Chains A and B, each alone.
Chain A
Amino acid sequence: MDNAIEPGSVRLMEASALEALFTSLDGAGYRVIGPTVRDGAIVLAELTAVGDLPFGWGVQLEPGGYRLRRRDDTAAFGHSAGPGSWKQFLHPPREKLWSARLAEGGFEIEQAGSDSGPDPEPRLAFFGVRPCDLRAIQIQDQVLGSGSGNSRYAARRAAVLIVAVNCTEPGETCFCASMGTGPEAGPGYDLALTELVSGERHGFLVDVGTEAGASVLAGVPLTRADAAVTDRARSAVADASQQMGRTMPAAGLHELMAESTDAARWDDVASRCLTCGNCTLACPTCFCTTVEDLTDLTGDHAERWQHWASCFDLDFSYLHGGPVRASASSRYRQWLTHKLGTWHDQFGSSGCVGCGRCIVWCPVGIDITEEVAALEAEAQGRKAQDAETQGDA
């Protein structure tokens, strides 16, 4: 155990030391949120003990399919694409914006923000953030944290400690490598763990990202990582990028979306899409919300609530007596072209991190990597046809 841990340092931690890490987090005032098995899935929830982690649990993923399976080792992070993402904690599904007293003379805002009143936002430690999800958090930071309206997001975000986990075993539906978001965590974590399980040995390579990360390691038994172990860990992550279940075209998605406005493929996917919006719920970057104004029965008290909304809802685009996007085709097109295309125009990056949740959690198994490949083929076909026509002319 040594004290001089600085950002940029690398250490080795035995799995048995997780107990001490949890104690340290608790002592620093953090509530730990991480993966745990519940109702047949690995969900993100508050962890009260190290034992809550899903040791030995893995998942079997396919379009429209998710199954827990027993691993033949005790890895705690050998799974991916759970139904929830970290956005439910930073950008809650339901949130009261303010309440007001109504009277004959008008109204008076009583309280802005949640019922927690003047208390600061709870300090959360996100334990087990995959590289794709780390990128997703950063994407939402750009959308929600930078503007004038949502200082609530910024306050919650500032109170979060991120313990990332590098991936060594991508799921069947993962494609973070082709989206440039993994399998290695990019900058932005406080700590990053790489799990190493082999026979009886179970440990984590720990990369220290920030002072905050370094400080929670105080009191946690650590050793210096030797070159062999470090290499093993790094190689495992590097190899993972070759084992992705799926791929997306490396570049040109923005242009492809822009030129696919009239693609026939949209009608094709629409014939399968239920417009249920599961993809928007599962997606870690989808951020759309709506507001609802409520009064109580006496009419004296009003509240404004914000809750998640989906562009697949018909009333999402309601204007002058009807939706702008009525057909399933137009709504699916909106979602995908926003995620992969116009997100760049609006926020300066792609909206997709390659986590694969939309593929897994779509009840009919629509796979966006497949849809993009089809759109790409259609675009190529159009270009070839145009070239031919021009050649004839």
Chain B
Amino acid sequence: MSGVTPADLAGHAFLRGMADGDLAVLSRLCWVAPVRRGHLFFTEGDAAHRFWLICSGHVALDLTAPGGRELIVETLGQGDLLGLSWFVPPYQWQFSATAVHDTTTFEFNADAVRAACESEAGLGYELLQRVMAAALSRLQATRVRMLDLYGASGAVRGGP
């Protein structure tokens, strides 16, 4: 009904190695969603009812600062999970997400996926591992960015 088959999902890096049964459940809860450059996926503060797996394109997570300036927090692309806040309470977006280029994704009904995880523990654990891996990778990268290795000042210079 959604037009997405388990085989389609199996090819996505985020779901690599997932069992067919779990893929089947997920495939019924998502649809293909191409968007144009500039498309706003979600806005900071909104309730998180959806998440996306990016198939191609380039998405920026950003934050609006005083004066209307938008600061890009991170960019994501092919193979990445877009959206983490749908997975844990209070299910509310912390950042906004904008397509920097034309982008295609699998868009998921986050509420339905969470419900499926409740009823099928196997699926829940599989998703948990993958979401955790994505979050960990981004956390580690963010910590390194905070070291400001390319900055000129003394103490944390990134030198020996």
Contacts and interface: CB of A to CB of B under 8 A. Distances in A.
Direct interface between A and B, CB < 8 A = yes
A321 B153 contact: yes
- Interface of chain B, main secondary structure: loop
Interface in A297-342: 319-322, 324
B37 to A, nearest CB: 41
A321 B160 contact: no
Contacts of B159: 319-322, 324
Given A321-B153, A324-B160, 15 more contacts: A319-B159, A319-B160, A320-B154, A320-B157, A320-B158, A320-B159, A321-B154, A321-B155, A321-B157, A321-B159, A322-B154, A322-B155, A322-B157, A322-B159, A324-B159
Interface in B65-103: none
Interface residues of B, number: 7
A321 B154 CA distance: 5
Question: At the interface, is chain A mostly helix, strand, loop or mixed?
Answer: loop
A320 B150 CA distance: 11
Interface string A15-53: 000000000000000000000000000000000000000
Interface of A: 319-322, 324
Shortest 5 CB-CB contacts between residues of A and residues of B: A321-B154, A320-B159, A320-B157, A324-B160, A319-B159
Nearest to A322: B154
9 contacts: A319-B159, A321-B153, A321-B155, A321-B157, A321-B159, A322-B155, A322-B157, A322-B159, A324-B159
A319 B160 CA distance: 8
Contacts of B155: 321-322
Interface in B125-159: 153-155, 157-159
Contacts of A320: 154, 157-159
A85 B4 CA distance: 84
Nearest to A325: B160
A320 B154 CA distance: 6
A381 B157 CA distance: 38
Nearest to B160: A324
A322 B153 CA distance: 11
Nearest to A321: B154
B108 to A, nearest CB: 46
A320 B160 CA distance: 9
A321 B153 CA distance: 7
A319 B154 CA distance: 9
